[in-house]
Amino acid sequence: MTFFTVVTRGLMRRPVRTGLTIVGIAIGIAAVVALVGISRGFETSWQTGMKSRGTDIVVSNMSKGLTPKPFSDTVVGRIAPLPHVAETCTLLVDLISVEKAEMMIVSARQWGGFCWKNLKIVSGRLPNDAAERAVVLGRTAAEVLGKKVGDTLQLETEELAVVGIVDGGAVVEDGSVILSLPLLQGITGNQGKVSIIDLRVTPGTGKEEMARLCERITGLVPEARAVIAGDHIHNSQAYRMISAMSWGTSLLAVLVGVLGVMNTMLMTIFERTQEICVLLAIGWKRSRIIRMVLWESALLGFLGGVGGVLIGVMGVKILVTAPSIRGLLEPELNPQFLVMAVAMAVVVGVFSGIYPAWRSSRFTPSHALHY
Partner 1 sequence: MFEASGLKKEYDEGQVQALRGVDFRIQQGEFVAIVGPSGSGKSTLLQMLGALDHPSAGTLKYRGASLADRADLASYRAHEIGFIFQAFHLLPTFTALENVQIPMFGTHRSVSERKCRAMELLKAVGLETRLHHCPAKLSGGERQRVAIARSLANGASVLLADEPTGNLDSENAELILDLLASLRREQNLTLILVTHDLGIARQAARIIKMKDGRIDSDALNKEST
Burial of residue 46 (number of CB atoms within 10 Å: 0-12, 13-18, 19+): buried
Tell me if 285 contacts partner 1 by CB under 8 A. yes
Helix ranges (H only) for the chain are 3-12, 15-53, 75-79, 139-145, 171-174, 181-188, 207-220, 237-271, 273-281, 286-319, 335-361
Tell me if 213 contacts partner 1 by CB under 8 A. no
Helix axis angle, 3-12 relative to 15-53, nearest 10°?
Answer: 100
Tell me if 283 contacts partner 1 by CB under 8 A. yes
Tell me if 368 contacts partner 1 by CB under 8 A. yes
Tell me if 5 contacts partner 1 by CB under 8 A. yes
CA dist 109 and 53 (Å) reads 11
CB of 237: closest distance to partner 1 in angstroms?
55
Pairing between strand 57-60 and 176-180? unpaired
The H or E element spanning position 94 is: strand 85-98
Calculated CA dihedral for residues 249, 251, 255, 256, nearest 10 degrees: 30
Which residues in 324-343 contact partner 1 (CB under 8 A)? Answer: none
Number of residues that bind partner 1 (CB under 8 A): 27
Which residues in 217-276 contact partner 1 (CB under 8 A)? Answer: 274-275
Tell me if 137 contacts partner 1 by CB under 8 A. no
CB of 283: closest distance to partner 1 in angstroms?
2
Query: Based on CB atoms, which residue is closest to partner 1, 72 or 366?
Result: 366
Please choose, out of 7-15, 52-60, 106-114, 355-363, the segment that lies near partner 1 by the rule CB under 8 A: 7-15
Tell me if 2 contacts partner 1 by CB under 8 A. yes
CB of 297: closest distance to partner 1 in angstroms?
18
Query: Based on CB atoms, which residue is closest to partner 1, 216 or 288?
Result: 288
Among 124, 166, 282, 352, binds partner 1 (CB under 8 A): 282
Total residues belonging to the chain:
371
Tell me if 369 contacts partner 1 by CB under 8 A. yes
CB of 3: closest distance to partner 1 in angstroms?
6
CA dist 61 and 223 (Å) reads 7
Amino acid (one-letter) located at 129: D
Query: Based on CB atoms, which residue is closest to partner 1, 1 or 318?
Result: 1
Among 193, 212, 286, 359, binds partner 1 (CB under 8 A): 286
What is the DSSP code (8-state) at residue 70?
P
Nearest Cα to Cα of residue 316 among 22, 21, 39: 39
Tell me if 278 contacts partner 1 by CB under 8 A. yes
Query: Under DSSP, is residue 86 helix (H, G, I), strand (E, B) or coil?
Result: strand
| Contact residues: partner 1, CB under 8 A | 1-3, 5-6, 9-10, 12-13, 274-275, 278-286, 288, 364-366, 368-369, 371
